């Protein structure tokens, strides 16, 4: 099978899985136990945490040395849970404010192109009475920082903007967005709201550093960069935003500073750290490789009559996009049908987010939000590459897509 669905998940690194299995077998004590086995596991967990922190945010890790308000890194069960901790904390905040009467209203801003892990939670907050503003992207798939700034209100408590969109690869201008948020908040005489970044598609693939991006929290996942599934991380800046500490909705044994209770997944944490460190050290080489594949794909698409790269006008080497993620429209053929036909030809791609292709309810939300017609949106498929992808994969895709499109287009 030609695997071009790396944005859904990546083939795990067998060496890392093996190493992690060794850690699991060797350090089986509960990190919260006070006996020697527990202490040993705890030490291993902290070693993984420091290693991952260094891979995620080299600048933050360096600044942290000696600082009392150092950034923190929590292990979670994945990107979705990391997002959920931050978004659902608003419910605790709402509860607290109702108790002491300090804040009448809470407001949240999210983009219309967020991953379901953020978007659906935002809808839930809305259903539970928290005001939510959704900000649309421009036609290039990027959100205008000024629009985020304009959406900020006096009561805004949280802004969520993803780092790299999982369907278009659009890289968001986070530092400018952070600045726009701060300026808008200042105009109300308020401290800036929390700024959460879903960075699941960014880690190891773009030059994203949460500390440098202006984010106050960021969500990560291990399996997108050849780590195992079931482990992710939530990075938080050292300073509690607007004086409001992050309070969890799920409670338990107080692990991970109480924000993510539950016995720690030591082997997962270990593997995540190893995978992230590996991706970080090979970053430049991998990125150059991805750019070459991107160029090959976008060039090849031009030779398939009627096929279009998405967002419209995307060209190779465009710094607005992650070279690892591309979408293409095949007008007159549903993306779902093309993906099915490609699968029969031995090629794995997705229509949008793999996890939302099960539900018709949301349709092609991201494409529609960019102002694309229904026909183009529904005809889109996503091609995503990784370090093991090669030119032959791209060529195989182009050939198969071209023949399937010719045969099945209506």
Partner 1 sequence: MDAFYLIKIGEILLKLGNRREFEDRLRSQLHKRFDSADIPHTIEMYPGRYFVTVPEERSADAEFILARTPGVNGYARAIKAQKSVEAVLAAAIEVARGRLAQGKRSFKAESRRSDKSFPLGSFELSARIGEVVLAAFPESRVDLHRPEFTINAEIRERAYIFADPEPGVRGLPVGSGGKGILLLSGGIDSPVAGYMMARRGLALEALYFHSYPYTSQEAKDKVASLAHVLSAYTGNLVLWTAPFTETQLKIKKDAREDLTTLMMRAAMMRAAGLLAERIGANCIVTGESLGQVASQTAENLRLTQSLTDYPVLRPLVGIDKEETITLAKRIGSFDISILPYEDCCVLFSPKHPMLKAKLEREREAYDRLDLDALIIDALKKADRQEILQGPRP
Residues belonging to the active site: 355
410 touches partner 1 by CB under 8 A: yes
At closest approach, how far in Å is the CB of 8 from partner 1?
18
Instruction: Choose between 63 and 348: whose C-beta lies nearer to partner 1.
Output: 348
At closest approach, how far in Å is the CB of 341 from partner 1?
4
d(CA 121, CA 115): 10
| b/e code 94-130 from CB counts within 10 Å (16+ = b) | beebeeeeeeeebbbbbbebbbbbbbbbbebbeeeeb
At closest approach, how far in Å is the CB of 375 from partner 1?
12
Instruction: Choose between 171 and 338: whose C-beta lies nearer to partner 1.
Output: 338
Instruction: Choose between 176 and 336: whose C-beta lies nearer to partner 1.
Output: 336
400 touches partner 1 by CB under 8 A: no
* Contact track, partner 1, 343-382, x by CB under 8 A: -x---------------x----------------------
Q: To which residue do tokens 């985020």 refer?
A: 148
301 touches partner 1 by CB under 8 A: no
Helices 283-302, 266-281: axis angle to 10 degrees equals 70
SS3 217: strand
Beta-strand pair 131-135/156-160? unpaired
CB atoms within 10 A of CB 42: 19
Give, as ranges, the residues between 307 and 346 that touch partner 1 (CB under 8 A). Answer: 334, 336-338, 340-341, 344
406 touches partner 1 by CB under 8 A: no
* Contact track, partner 1, 108-147, x by CB under 8 A: ----------------------------------------
Instruction: Choose between 100 and 344: whose C-beta lies nearer to partner 1.
Output: 344
d(CA 6, CA 201): 10
At closest approach, how far in Å is the CB of 361 from partner 1?
8
> Could you tell me if 8 and 354 are in contact, meaning their C-beta atoms sit under 8 angstroms apart?
yes
Instruction: Choose between 298 and 338: whose C-beta lies nearer to partner 1.
Output: 338
Q: Which residues pair with 400 in a beta bridge?
A: none
At closest approach, how far in Å is the CB of 410 from partner 1?
5
Instruction: Choose between 244 and 381: whose C-beta lies nearer to partner 1.
Output: 381
At closest approach, how far in Å is the CB of 320 from partner 1?
33
d(CA 270, CA 3): 26
CA distances from 339 to 308, 366, 397 (A): 16, 18, 11
d(CA 261, CA 252): 5
408 touches partner 1 by CB under 8 A: yes
d(CA 89, CA 96): 11
- Contact residues toward partner 1 (CB under 8 A) are 334, 336-338, 340-341, 344, 360, 408, 410
């Amino acid at each position: 099978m030609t695997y071009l669905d790396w944005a859904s998940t990546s083939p795990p690194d067998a060496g890392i899985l093996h190493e992690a299995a060794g850690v699991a077998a060797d350090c089986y004590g509960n990190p919260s136990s006070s006996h020697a086995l527990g202490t040993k596991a705890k030490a291993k967990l902290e070693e993984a945490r420091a290693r991952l922190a260094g891979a995620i945010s080299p600048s933050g890790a360096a600044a942290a040395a000696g600082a009392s308000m150092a950034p923190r890194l929590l292990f979670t069960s994945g990107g979705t849970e990391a997002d959920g901790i931050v978004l659902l904390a608003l419910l605790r905040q709402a509860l607290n404010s109702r108790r002491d009467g300090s804040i009448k209203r809470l407001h949240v801003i999210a983009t219309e192109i967020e991953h379901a892990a953020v978007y659906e939670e935002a809808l839930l907050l809305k259903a539970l009475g928290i005001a939510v503003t959704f900000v649309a992207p421009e036609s290039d798939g990027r959100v205008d920082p000024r629009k985020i700034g304009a959406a900020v209100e006096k009561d805004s408590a949280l802004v969520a903007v993803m780092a790299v969109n999982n369907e278009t690869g659009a890289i968001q201008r986070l530092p400018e967005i952070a600045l726009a948020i701060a300026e808008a908040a200042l105009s109300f005489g308020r401290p800036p709201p929390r700024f959460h970044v879903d960075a699941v598609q960014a880690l190891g693939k773009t030059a994203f550093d949460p500390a440098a991006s202006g984010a106050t929290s960021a969500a990560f996942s291990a399996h997108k960069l050849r780590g195992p599934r079931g482990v992710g991380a939530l990075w938080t800046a050292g300073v509690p935003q607007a004086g409001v500490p992050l309070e969890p909705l799920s409670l338990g044994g107080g692990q991970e500073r109480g924000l993510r209770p539950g016995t720690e997944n030591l082997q997962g944490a270990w593997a995540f750290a190893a995978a992230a460190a590996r991706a970080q050290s090979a970053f430049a080489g991998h990125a150059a490789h991805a750019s070459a594949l991107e160029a090959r794909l976008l060039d090849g698409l031009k030779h398939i009559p009627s096929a279009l790269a998405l967002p419209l006008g995307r060209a190779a080497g465009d710094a607005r996009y992650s070279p690892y993620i591309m979408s293409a429209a095949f007008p007159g053929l549903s993306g779902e049908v093309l993906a099915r036909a490609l699968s029969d030809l031995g090629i794995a791609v997705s229509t949008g987010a793999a996890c939302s292709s099960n539900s018709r309810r949301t349709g092609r939300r991201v494409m529609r939000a960019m102002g694309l017609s229904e026909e183009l949106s529904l005809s889109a498929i996503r091609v995503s590459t990784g370090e093991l992808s090669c030119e032959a994969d791209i060529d195989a895709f182009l050939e198969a897509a071209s023949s399937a499109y010719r045969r099945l287009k209506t």
